[in-house]
Amino acid sequence: MQKHTLSISLLLIFICCQLPSQAQSFVETSQLSQAGGALKVPQYASNGYLYANNWIHVNPSTGLFSSNGSHFYNDSNGWIAQGGYSSSVQLKFRNSSGVTLGSIYANDSNLIGFLNNSGYWVFQAEANGNINFPLGNLNLSSGIYNGNGSGLTNVNAQSLDGKVSGNGAGNLAYYDPSSAYMYTPTWIGIGSSAGIFSPSGGNGAHFYPNSSSSYATWFLNGNRGGYGGIYDIYSKTHWMYDANGNGGDYNQFSDTWITYWHASNKSLGVGTSATNVNYSITTAKGALLGGNTLIQGNLEALKVKVTATPGSVPDYVFQPNYKLQTLNELEAFIKANSHLPNIPNAKEIETNGQDLGDLQLKLLEKIEELTLYLIEENKERDILKKENSHLKERLAKVEALIKTLTINK
C-alpha cells in the first residue's frame, strides 16, 4: 500500500513539472507581430495586455474582472457590467488618443443615459418612463414613433423640455390628460396637406388649410345632422351650413336661427328660417329693414307704413285757435316765395332730400287748411244763394207790377 501511494505521488509531481507556469506564460510584444495569424490561443504580452486572434469564449457567470471590483461578465440572459468603486456603472468611449468622447452611465437612482465628454447628462431615462434632456431641447426632425411605426401618444413635453412649465409656457406644446386639452405657447405650424382631424366626431371632421382655391383660407369638412360648421360651446351658438349652402347662425339656448341664408331663393331670415320670398329679408314677425337704408334704385311695395311722433299729425288745424291765413295772405306768400307756407322749396328738397313721413304730414296740413277754405267758401256761397233767391223774388214782383201797369193803360 505504501509503494502504490508513493508511486502516485511521484507521478503527480512529474506531470506538474511538465505544465508551463501561468506566471511565465507570456511572450514579447515583438514576437506577437511575427506570429500574425498563427496565434491560436490568447497570449499575455510583456506590455500587460492579453492578445487574441479569435473569439474569447467564457462560460456563464464568468468574464472580465478588475482588481477594484469591476466586473464585465455574462449570464444566461446577456452581458452584465458591474461597478466596483461606487453604486454607479459607467462605460466610457475614448478615441485613439485616449480622449473620452462620452459614456453610458447608470446608478442606483434608476437613472440611465448618456454623459458628454465633460461628464454632464445629455440624455436621461427614468424608471417611471420619463425621458429628460437636461442640457437643452430635443430636435425631432422626423417625429417620435413607436416600434410599430405609429406616432407616440401622451408625450409629456415637460419631460422633453425643461423649459416648459405651467399651461404650455415654454418651447413645446403638451397634452394635459386632466383637462383633455392641448396647450401651446405659440403658433402650431402644419403642412399644406395636413390639419386637424377627428376620426369619430362629426363623421370624420377635418380642418385644414386651403391650397387649391382662392375663395377661402381654410377648409372645414364634416357632417353632423346634415350640417357642417363650428360650435361655440360657451354661447351655444352654431355657425353651420348644409351641402346646398343653406344655413347661418343658430342659437341652441333659444332654439332659434339668429340668421338663416336660403341659397335657393337668395333670401335672408332673421330669427327664423322661414324665408319663402325670393330676395327678401324676413324676421320672425315679418319683413324688416332697420336703421338708415340706402336704396339706389326704385322701391316698390304693396304697403308702406310710416310711424309718427305724438303731436305731429296736423289735426291742430281744426282747433278753434288755429290761425288760418286768408286767401289774400296766401296769394301774397305764393307770389313772394313760389311755394306753399311750411313746405320746403324745390332747392331744399333737391339738395337735402325729403323725409317722406314729414312731407306727408305737411301735405296733410295743407289739405286740412284747404278743407277749411272750402268750408268757408261754401258758407259764403250759401249766403250768396240766399241773397240771389231773394233778389229773384223781388225782381219777379217788379216785373209783375210793370206788366199790370202796362195793361191798365
Asked whether the beta carbons of 274 and 286 are under 8 A apart, the reply is no
pLDDT tens for residues 52-103?
A: 776 776 677 777 777 676 777 777 777 777 776 566 777 788 888 888 888 8
pLDDT of residue 308: 83
- Report, as an integer, the average pLDDT of 387-399: 91
pLDDT at residue 383 above 90?
A: yes
pLDDT tens for residues 276-286?
A: 677 778 777 77
Q: What is the pTM of this model?
A: 0.37
pLDDT at residue 270 above 70?
A: yes
Taking the domains of the chain in order of start, what are their residue ranges? Answer: 1-57, 206-305, 314-408
- Report, as an integer, the average pLDDT of 111-133: 81
pLDDT at residue 32 above 60?
A: no
pLDDT of residue 389: 92
**CA-CA-CA-CA torsion sign (166, 109, 77, 132):** positive
pLDDT at residue 38 above 70?
A: no
pLDDT tens for residues 285-318?
A: 776 665 567 778 888 888 888 888 888 889 999 9
pLDDT of residue 93: 82
Report the phi/psi class of residue 37: left, alpha or beta, with left for phi > 0 and alpha for psi in -120 to 50: alpha
Q: What percent of the chain is predicted at pLDDT more than 90?
A: 18
pLDDT of residue 321: 93
> Which of helix, strand or coil describes residue 395?
helix
Q: What percent of the chain is predicted at pLDDT more than 70?
A: 68
CA atoms of 269 and 276, how far apart (whole Å)? 9
Q: Is 250 exposed, middle or buried (0-12, 13-18, 19+ CB in 10 A)?
A: buried
C-alpha cell at 50: 492579453
pLDDT at residue 120 above 90?
A: no
pLDDT of residue 3: 41
Which region among 87-96, 195-204, 353-362 has the lowest average model confidence (pLDDT)?
195-204
Asked whether the beta carbons of 68 and 86 are under 8 A apart, the reply is no
